[in-house]
Structure 1
C-alpha cells in the first residue's frame, strides 16, 4: 500500500476509536516513522500440496508433485488381497482377531442381548479373555448379568457400580494400559455403548477414542464397540450410525443389526455388511440371521433372512388410519391377544413409522375389554401381570 492509503485507513480507524484529530495525526506520524526505520518482515506462507484450498504464492510456481505416488496409497494392494479368506475370526462373520469392530443398531435392536448374553460367553468358553464394559443396562439386569459372566469366566465392568469409579477413570485406565505397551493377545474388549465413551458429534472426541481402541488392537486386543443408529434412515431406507464420519473411517468393520418383529414373538436380526447399505468390512463376510425370543434366548437361521424394504421410510409418513389398519391386520393373523409392545413394533415395521407414534395411536384407539359403554374403538385390551396390556380385536 502507498503511504497515503495507509494514513487514510488508519485515520478512519482512529476516529472510530474516539481519538481526537491531534492525537490521530501524532500517533500515525510516529508509527510510520518507526516503521520506516525498523520495518518488520512478514513471513511467507508455507503451502501444502495436501491443502486443497490453498493457492501458490503469487509469482511462484506450484510445488512439483508425483500424482502417481499420491494416488497409490488408495490402491488395492497384493498384501490385502492375499489376506482375503484367511481372516482369523473369533466369532464367525462378525469379529476378526485384532480388529476394531463397530456394531450399530436401533434401540431394541439386540446389540446387548447378542453381545453380552451370547457372544461374550461363547468367546470366553473358547479361552479368550473377555472384558465387557457396560454403561447402558439398567441396574435391574446387573444381578443376572453378573451371574452369567461368573458362570462363563468373563469380566463384567460397569463404571457406575462402585464408589468413586467413573467412565473417565475407566478410560484413563485403558489409556494407561495402552501407554505401558501391555501384552493383550487374546483379549476381547466390548464397549456398550459408544456414546458413553465419546461425544459422538465431536470429531476430536471420536478420533481420540478410536486412537485408543486402535492402540489396544495393535497390542493384541480385539475391540468391539456397540453404537446406536439414528432415528431416521437415509433416503434409501438404510440405517445410519449416530455420530461423525470418523466412526466409520476408523473402524475395521462397521456392521449394522437390522431387526424386524417375528409374528410368533421376539425379533429376527440380520447383519448388514454391504457397503451400498452403509456398512464397511475388511475381509470376507457372510450375512447371518438370528432370532431373539422374548426370554432373550438366541437361535440361528440356516440362511440369512430377506431384509424388509425400508424405502417406505423415505416417503411421506403413514396416516393414522394406515397404522390402525396394519395393527388390525396383525391381530387378525394372530387371532389371540397380543402384548402391546409387540403389536406396536409390528405395526411400526409394517408402516415404517416410529414406535412412539404407533404406541400413541394404538393407545388412543383402545378401550377396556368388557366395558359397559364401548365406544366403537378398533381395539380392546385386558391387563395382565406386571400391568402388561394385551390388545385384541373386539368381538
Structure 2
C-alpha cells in the first residue's frame, strides 16, 4: 500500500472539475464537474475506433481532468488539476495485477487503451485516473505526475506536460471483447498531493536513464552490465528506438565503439529469435555504427570538451567591439519595436495588424531610420490580391517580400535561413517581419514554442530584428481585455509584446490601441492608430494616423456610449412603450418592466437609472421627478426615440464626427 499519511477517505458527493473536447482539433472545451460515480461510468464505456498507425485511429472525444479559467484549451487557462493520470503503453508491460499492486490503497479508475493487445507481442496497454482529494495547482501536479510515473518504468511521460488531453476509452475495430476496465471505489483513499511519496522502486526512473546506478552516475560500466540493461530495453517492438536510447547512454558514459558493439553482439542471437531477421541484420549491417556516430556528434555539440572550465567560455570581445556590431538604439516601428529585439503583435482578425505594421515600418524607411533593402516581410497569410497590394508597397518603400509557394520559398525554410544569417555573421541590420507567426511554429505546443524562442534569441543576439504578428484568443479575460492565443512561451521568450484592442469602429473610421504586455527598453505602454474603412487598400494605407491620448479617450467614451445603448436597446424600447401607456411610477415601471419578458428585475432597474436625466447626448431617454407622497415619476425626453441609439441632438439630427471631437 502506498503511504499517504492519513489521507481522508473519499467523499461520495465530491465534485471534480473537468473539461471535454470532441476531438484533438477542438479547442473549445465543455466545462463540467464529475462525481466519482460519474467517472466510474465514463471510464468503463468504450467506443470503437479506427484501424491505423497514426493518432487518427484513436482520435475522438477527450478529457482534461482540470479546472479551467474559461473554455479555451490553453495551458495558461488551467487553474487546478482534479485528477492525476498514468499512461501505461507498450514499454511498461503493465497488467491489472501490477496496477493493483503498485497503487494499492488508492482510489483509481483503469481502462485499456485503443491499441491494447494489438502490437506484437500482444502487450496490454492501460490508462489509469487517480482523483485528488483536493484541487492541485499545475506546478505541484507535474511533480506528483513524475512520482507516479516512476512507479512504472517505461511509462509515457506525456502526463507530465502542462497541457495534455486524454482520449476517452476506445478499442481497436473488432476488439471490443478485449476491452477491460476496473476501479477501486470503496477500496482505498483519494490521492493526497501533500503527503504522496511512494517508496522508490528499482528501475523506477526513466528506462533510458537507469542502469542500476545512482541517478546521474556516468561511470563507465562493464559490457555485462549494459547487456543486462539492453535486454530490458528491447522488450518492446521498437527495436530502432530502444537501440538509439541505449547507444546514446553508452556513449555518454564513455564506452568506446568496440565495447558497445560487443554488448549488442552478445544479444544478437536473442534478437534474431524475437525480431524480424531482416530488421536485425539491418541494425548490425551499419545502422548501429551510425547510431554511435550520431550520439557522439550530439554529445560533442552539447557538452564541453574534456578539461574545459568556466574560464574557457568567458567573453573575450570587448564591450566597445560588441557595440560596434550592434545597431544604434532606434526603432523599426516608432516607439514600439526596437532594433535588435524580438517583438510580437497580437490582434484579432481584420483588426489591422498587418496594415499598421507595414505602414509604421514604411514610415521608418522613409525617415531614413532603417534600410528598406534589409527589411524582409514574410507574407504567409494572404490571398492573391493581398499579395499584389503588399508588393506595390514593397516596391514603393523599398522593402522585400517573401511568399511561401513563390520563387521556391517555403515556410519551413525560415528557421534555416535565420540560422544561416547568424552563422555567417549577417544578422546585424536584418529585419524580418512574420505574418503570421503560426505559419512558422505551433503556438499551442510548449516544446515548439521553446524551440522557436531559442532560434529567435540566437537571431536577435546576432543583431537581427524580428517582428511577428499573431492572433488573439477569441475569449476575453475577466476585465474584457483580449488575451494572446497559444501558450505563454512566445511572450516569455520575446523582448516586447503588444495586444491590439478595438477602441471605436464608428462613422467609417476604426480606432485601435496597441496595449503593451511586455517590454525591454523604452517603448510606449500604449499607442493608438486610426484608419478609414471600406475604401481601396492604398487609400486605407494612406489614411493611417497616430492618435493622441485626448482623442483616444474621446474615442473610448464614444465606444462605451454606443455599446451601452446597444446593450440596453430592447429594454429602453420596452420602458419607453410603458411610459407612453401611462405607466410612470418607478415601482410600477420596474414591476411591469421585467414581467413576461427575458429581463431581470435588476437589469430593468439598471437601465431605468442609467438612462435617467435630461441630456440625450449622454444617453438619457427619460427624466425623473418627484410626485405625490415622494413617489418618483418618469417622463420621456423630447427627441428621445430609440430609433437613434448612437447619439442625436434634441432635434433628432445625427451629430457629425467633428461635433463629437469638439
The residue matched to 1:151 in structure 2 has which SS? helix
Matches of 1:229 and 1:218, distance apart in 2: 27
Matches of 2:211 and 2:529, distance apart in 1: 69
Question: In the TM superposition, what is the alpha-carbon distance from 1:267 to its structure 2 partner?
Answer: 0.8
Do structure 1's residue 167 and structure 2's residue 415 form an aligned pair? no
Q: 1:323 to 1:213 in 2, by over 3 A?
A: farther
1:222 maps to: 465
Matches of 1:115 and 1:257, distance apart in 2: 11
Matches of 1:238 and 1:41, distance apart in 2: 52
Q: 1:226 to 1:322 in 2, by over 3 A?
A: same
Deviations 1:193-251, CA, capped at 9 Å, x for gaps:
01111011111212222222211111211110111000001112221111111111101
Query: Is the CA contact (8 Å cut-off) linking 1:256 and 1:272 kept in structure 2?
Result: yes
Do structure 1's residue 155 and structure 2's residue 400 form an aligned pair? yes
Instruction: Return the match for 2:520 from 261, 279, 282.
Output: 282
Q: 1:153 to 1:44 in 2, by over 3 A?
A: same
1:123 maps to: 364
Deviations 1:161-201, CA, capped at 9 Å, x for gaps:
34x432112333223223x2332322211001011110111
Matches of 1:323 and 1:230, distance apart in 2: 27
1:140 maps to: 385
Deviations 1:233-286, CA, capped at 9 Å, x for gaps:
11122211111111111011111111133322121011212xxxxx11112333
Q: 1:41 to 1:181 in 2, by over 3 A?
A: closer
Matches of 1:189 and 1:202, distance apart in 2: 23
Matches of 1:105 and 1:199, distance apart in 2: 17
Query: Is the CA contact (8 Å cut-off) linking 2:333 and 2:361 kept in structure 1?
Result: no
Instruction: Return the match for 2:506 from 251, 254, 263.
Output: 263
The residue matched to 2:415 in structure 1 has which SS? helix
The residue matched to 2:503 in structure 1 has which SS? strand
1:292 maps to: 531
2:347 maps to: 105
2:549 maps to: 303
Instruction: Return the match for 1:239 from 482, 488, 501.
Output: 482
Which region of structure 1 is more displaced relative to structure 2, 279-288 or 229-238?
279-288
The residue matched to 2:345 in structure 1 has which SS? strand
Matches of 2:520 and 2:480, distance apart in 1: 24
Do structure 1's residue 206 and structure 2's residue 449 form an aligned pair? yes
Hey, which bits of structure 1, 4+ residues long, moved more than 4 A?
A: 321-326
Equivalenced residue count is: 239
Matches of 2:568 and 2:424, distance apart in 1: 56
Matches of 2:439 and 2:355, distance apart in 1: 18
Matches of 2:484 and 2:348, distance apart in 1: 9
Matches of 1:115 and 1:137, distance apart in 2: 15
Question: In the TM superposition, what is the alpha-carbon distance from 1:112 to its structure 2 partner?
Answer: 0.3
Q: 1:151 to 1:242 in 2, by over 3 A?
A: same
The residue matched to 1:231 in structure 2 has which SS? strand
Unaligned segments of structure 1, at least 5 residues:
1-11, 14-39, 48-85, 274-278, 313-317, 329-377, 380-395
Which structure has the larger Rg? 2
Query: Is the CA contact (8 Å cut-off) linking 1:123 and 1:130 kept in structure 2?
Result: no
Q: 1:283 to 1:170 in 2, by over 3 A?
A: closer
Matches of 2:414 and 2:212, distance apart in 1: 48
2:436 maps to: 193
Matches of 2:547 and 2:412, distance apart in 1: 40
What is the TM-score of this pair, normalised by structure 2? 0.33
Question: In the TM superposition, what is the alpha-carbon distance from 1:308 to its structure 2 partner?
Answer: 5.2
Matches of 2:388 and 2:446, distance apart in 1: 36
What is the TM-score of this pair, normalised by structure 1? 0.54
Unaligned segments of structure 2, at least 5 residues:
1-96, 99-209, 218-327, 574-642, 645-662
2:215 maps to: 45
Do structure 1's residue 248 and structure 2's residue 488 form an aligned pair? no
Query: Is the CA contact (8 Å cut-off) linking 1:120 and 1:154 kept in structure 2?
Result: no
Matches of 2:344 and 2:377, distance apart in 1: 14
Where relative contact order (Cα < 8 A, 6+ residues apart) is larger, the structure is 1
The residue matched to 1:290 in structure 2 has which SS? strand
Q: 1:46 to 1:303 in 2, by over 3 A?
A: same
